[in-house]
A and B are shown apart, each in its own frame.
Chain A
Amino acid sequence: MSSPALQPRTRVSRLAQEAVDKARLSVVPRVRSRAPRVPFVTLVSLVLVAGIVGLLLFNTSMQQASFAASSLQSEADTLAAREQTLRMELDELRNPQRVAQAAQSMGMVIPAAPVFLDLATGKTSGVRTPATRENAIQLLPPAPVIPAVLAPEPTIVEVPPTTETTTETPAAGEQPADAKLPGTGKNKQGNKQGKNRNR
């Protein structure tokens, strides 16, 4: 009884066993690369290092260029400023006032009426009027009047006539001895003497 009962069971288990055997995963043996690993690692490292160094150099050169640009810019600014300053000086030299003063100091005057000379025929048109000193125009405003406080009366020193001083030359020679006296005082003294003599 048991064998017929066993029969199918074993058959089932055998079938199952087969299925299990088929389905079972087994570890595949590792395929080992035969290629040497060193060159690859070296290559990658080289690319990496080259990249980093290249980037660094690139960055440095850009920074360098930036510094150069900055200093060139400031140089350009300086030169532009210099040019403008020179232009301003030129404009001041072209000021009609300055030109007229220079011309007038050379004796030139602006005529009252123009005369035209035709170069082809050599003839003049217009009335020839002499340009005189009266034609000169006043180029500078009149000097302001100085207040009396700042413009005191000039001190007039009378010098004794030279014909009479011949007898007095020894006195003049003595003067160094009196040199300690203040200059003005000395002059005044001299004046008084001169006046007395004149009288």
Chain B
Amino acid sequence: MPSIRATGNGKRGASRGAPLLRLRIGFVLIAIVLSFFGARLVQLQGVDPRSYAAMAAAEGAARLPLEAERGDILDRNGVPLADSIRGKMVIADPVLTAGTAPDLARLLSDRLSIDYFKTLSALRGRNTGSRYEYVARRVPSTLAGDTLAALDDAGFEGITLEDDPIRDYPAGDVAANLIGYMGTDEPLGGFERTFDKQLAGTDGLATWQSTSGKGVRIPLRESTLKEPKDGTPLHTTIDRDLQWFTAKVLAQAVQQYRAESASAVVLDTRTGETLALVDVPTFDANAPTAPGVKKEDRGSRAMSDTYEPGSVEKVLTVSSLIDAGKAFPRQKFKVPPNLARQDRVIGDWFDHGMIRLTLAGIIAKSSNIGTVLAADAFSPPQLVAYLQRFGLGQKTNVGVSGETQGLLKSGDVMTSQEKDRVAFGQSLSVNVLQMAAAVNTIANKGVRVSPSLISGSAVTDEGMTVGTDVATRTRVVSKQAARGTAKMMEKVVDPEDGVAPAAAVPGYLVAGKTGTAQRVEAECGCYDGSTTVSFGGFAPADDARFTVYVVVHAPRVDGGGGSIAGPVFSRIMGYVLGRYGVEPTNGKPSRLPVEW
């Protein structure tokens, strides 16, 4: 038996070798293979797992970014001032399109109204090896779809479409200075930028497994959907039609008087809502970079530029004096031809001898000397305190970025000469809305309502909440003081006693005040000889509903606030009263004497 076994062993050993050796070799081989697997595992999982996972996911996966629709900007009646519509971008893959570039470019440029040569260079690839070139951006979906279908019919390849929403401003230049405009991908000004966070929304994403390049979904396979969150619409207090009308009337005045620029504001007296805030010159928000559009024209001059308000400010001084019990409308003043005050002489815009004017007459005739004499009852801090409560020297914070706060010296450092000049509207500067809100205080029976441009509330990019919800009301002067000032302001448009009969609106009691101020040259800080003419007022004077303030900068035709800004005021006021159905109040006109 043992011998047999031995022989058997010997036979096997010859064919398979020693079992121990075999085992070892086997183990070594297995170890080698396993170590390769291990190394690969470390490479896949340890070194760069994400890119491999992404590559695996990308295999046969379709991704569709879902663009959130940008929120509309609406006027007070819900009419869109800016809205978003679906659009497409046309993308070329130069590897596929370079061969047929000329024919393809002709077809595309014909259909999409784009430049032939730019299209040609895109189709040939602006950089070598590029596989993604923009041919056209913001093409309306229908047009893009039709064009792509036509290309397919003609047998062209390599053109694809991707979502690219279009921002449209249906009324073009209406309120463009406030709304702002969009760049290629980002907001570049106005509300579009200030409230971008609210308007933009959040993009979504859909992914699924796809069978073919057409993106048809494989049923029951993994798919994800993250719904896009559309932007929230922004409701403004602007009345589009009124804004348009105001802009047209103002533009006509700018042209007629060859002025440099002009602004106008229409406020709802009771709520402080800004119904119109117009800047001329303006631009078309659909074409912000059109030739001839200056950079300064794209912002709101009314909010960002300061100027000296001139005589319109007198109504603030006078109402403060009445409120403080230091003056009354029938108070009698002897107004000399000129008034020497320390270093300089104060004069009036009209030559006169010694005239005897009431306080009402001082306002009606817009006498600087008379105002200074009346304001002598005030110390500088007293006057400044009142003006600050009228809102001068502080931003209105309505949501327009780049707003200036104007310039109002503190009462403690103000000299008496400066106070004299501030009393009739010099040596201080304001922005247009500030001044309109101040005049509106008189109209609103002495209560200042902070102006708003946003209906409800919205948060600016600086984190400030603005809008009608956060509007504040503060009493600045007593009801009697405001009423008395309004009565005096009625005299301004009086055809016999006043300086601005052209500002009257037939049938209505109108209270207003003209202003003609010298303009400060920015570079030298001195008066350059040009003027800013303005008119601020409200109607109906005995129960005010609207405050309109018109400012025209640097007219090259001789005139003052009454003759240039007055007619513009009258036109706008007449329109807004009719538009909002405010009937004449049939109140008694002011019978204050202007002289004694």
Instruction: List residues of chain A with CB within 8 A of the CB of B245.
Output: 96, 110, 137
Which of A66, A112, A116, A141 is the one whose CB lies under 8 Å from B506? A112
Which of chain A's residues 127-154 have a Cβ closer than 8 Å to chain B?
Answer: 127, 129, 137-139, 141-142
- Give the interface segment out of A8-16, A78-86, A155-163, A180-188: A78-86
A132–B85 Cα distance when bound, in Å, is: 41
Report yes or no: A66 in contact with B571, Cβ–Cβ below 8 A. no
Report yes or no: B248 in contact with A95, Cβ–Cβ below 8 A. no
Report yes or no: B168 in contact with A113, Cβ–Cβ below 8 A. no
Which of chain B's residues 559-596 have a Cβ closer than 8 Å to chain A?
Answer: 570-571, 574-575, 577-578, 581, 583-584, 586
Instruction: List residues of chain A with CB within 8 A of the CB of B80.
Output: 91
Which of B170, B172, B219, B255 is the one whose CB lies under 8 Å from A94? B170
Instruction: List residues of chain A with CB within 8 A of the CB of B586.
Output: 125
A85 and B140 in contact, given A70-B216, A91-B83 (Cβ under 8 angstroms): yes
Distance between B502 CB and nearest chain A CB, rounded to angstroms: 11
Instruction: List residues of chain A with CB within 8 A of the CB of B374.
Output: none
Distance between A70 CB and nearest chain B CB, rounded to angstroms: 5
Report yes or no: A78 in contact with B141, Cβ–Cβ below 8 A. yes
Instruction: List residues of chain A with CB within 8 A of the CB of B168.
Output: 88, 91
Scan B61-87; emit 1 where CB is below 8 A from any A CB, else 0: 000000000000000000110010110
- CB of A173 within 8 Å of the partner chain: no
Which of B172, B251, B505, B570 is the one whose CB lies under 8 Å from A95? B172
- CB of B388 within 8 Å of the partner chain: no
Report yes or no: A138 in contact with B219, Cβ–Cβ below 8 A. no
Report yes or no: B248 in contact with A65, Cβ–Cβ below 8 A. no
Report yes or no: B140 in contact with A81, Cβ–Cβ below 8 A. yes
Residues of B within 8 A of A (CB-CB), count: 44
Distance between A62 CB and nearest chain B CB, rounded to angstroms: 4
| Interface size class, chain A | 35 or more
Report yes or no: B219 in contact with A63, Cβ–Cβ below 8 A. yes
A101–B171 Cα distance when bound, in Å, is: 13
Report yes or no: B249 in contact with A137, Cβ–Cβ below 8 A. yes
In the complex, residue of chain B having the shortest beta-carbon distance to the beta carbon of A114? B578
In the complex, residue of chain A having the shortest beta-carbon distance to the beta carbon of B241? A96
Report yes or no: A82 in contact with B142, Cβ–Cβ below 8 A. yes
- CB of B240 within 8 Å of the partner chain: yes
A63–B221 Cα distance when bound, in Å, is: 11
Which of B172, B252, B577 is the one whose CB lies under 8 Å from A114? B577
Which of chain A's residues 45-93 have a Cβ closer than 8 Å to chain B?
Answer: 59, 62-63, 65-67, 69-70, 77-78, 80-82, 84-85, 87-88, 91-92
A114–B217 Cα distance when bound, in Å, is: 63
Distance between B240 CB and nearest chain A CB, rounded to angstroms: 7
Instruction: List residues of chain A with CB within 8 A of the CB of B141.
Output: 77-78, 81-82, 84-85
- CB of B214 within 8 Å of the partner chain: yes
Instruction: List residues of chain A with CB within 8 A of the CB of B575.
Output: 110
A44–B217 Cα distance when bound, in Å, is: 34
A116 and B583 in contact, given A88-B170, A110-B245, A137-B248 (Cβ under 8 angstroms): yes
Report yes or no: B174 in contact with A113, Cβ–Cβ below 8 A. no
- CB-CB nearest 6 A-B residue pairs: A114-B578, A81-B141, A91-B170, A127-B507, A62-B219, A127-B506
Q: Which residues of A contact B (CB under 8 A)?
A: 59, 62-63, 65-67, 69-70, 77-78, 80-82, 84-85, 87-88, 91-92, 94-97, 100, 110-116, 125-127, 129, 137-139, 141-142
